[in-house]
Structure 1
Amino acid sequence: MITCDFTIIPIGNGTSCKNYVTAAVQAIKDSGLNYQLTGMGTQIEAENLEELYSAIANAQEAIFEMGVDRAYTVIKIDDRRDMKNRTLDAKVDSVNKKLK
């Protein structure tokens, strides 16, 4: 399982981003991949890099289709192959179990 945290920042069209975030997240939702929206980015799970990159590319294109001329995208990927089904929730659960 590949997990990813990414943020797309539209540049040049004011300070509010909620409409752009909505368009990008809708593209991720349409991909069918499991995702979690956070206050600072979006996390997604994918079986392979092709579907991951395709989903992010579609999210970025959704931003450009709204009239943005520039977007800055930050992508963090955890491609762990020594464990099966290492989902976003499993990662959080493993840390929560160690908290006192």
Structure 2
Amino acid sequence: MSVLLEMAMFPTDQGESKSEYVAQVISLIRQSGYTYQLTSMGTIIETNEIGQALKLVEECYNILESNGCNRVYSTLTFDIRKGHDNRLKSKIESIEKHIGEVSK
């Protein structure tokens, strides 16, 4: 199974710049060992099970909470597909077969 999670998470009560807090979230995602891709508007993460993805979301929230964030905004989008893996890479490769290399 492949669970693709596109996530954005940041505090709304900690001033204008959010990079210090987002960096802490990305560091946790990096340490998780899951394949991920950081974009300017969110992060895409691939896990093998929905429970792994949901646990990671909770851990990301906990990082922000432990750093004094009292209000956190988050968006989550899932694409769950049985019988497949490595879709973070293969979905892009599928498009590139049709139009050539794309920006990554």
TM-score normalised to structure 2 length = 0.87
Tell me the equivalent position of 1:66: 67
- Unaligned stretches of 5+ residues in structure 1: none
1:50 match = 51
> Are 2:84 and 1:92 aligned?
no
User: Which amino acid in the other structure matches residue 42 of structure 1?
Assistant: T
Letter in 1 for 2:12: I
How many positions carry a matched residue from both structures?
99
Query: What TM-score do the two structures reach when normalised by structure 1?
Result: 0.91
Residue aligning to 2:7:
6
3-state SS, counterpart of residue 97 of structure 1:
helix
Distance in 2, Cα, partners of 1:23 & 1:65? 11
SS at match of 2:69: coil
Q: CA RMSD in A?
A: 1.3
| Distance in structure 1 (CA, Å) of the matches to 2:97 and 2:62 | 39
Identity %: 26
Structure 2: unaligned runs, 5 residues or longer: none
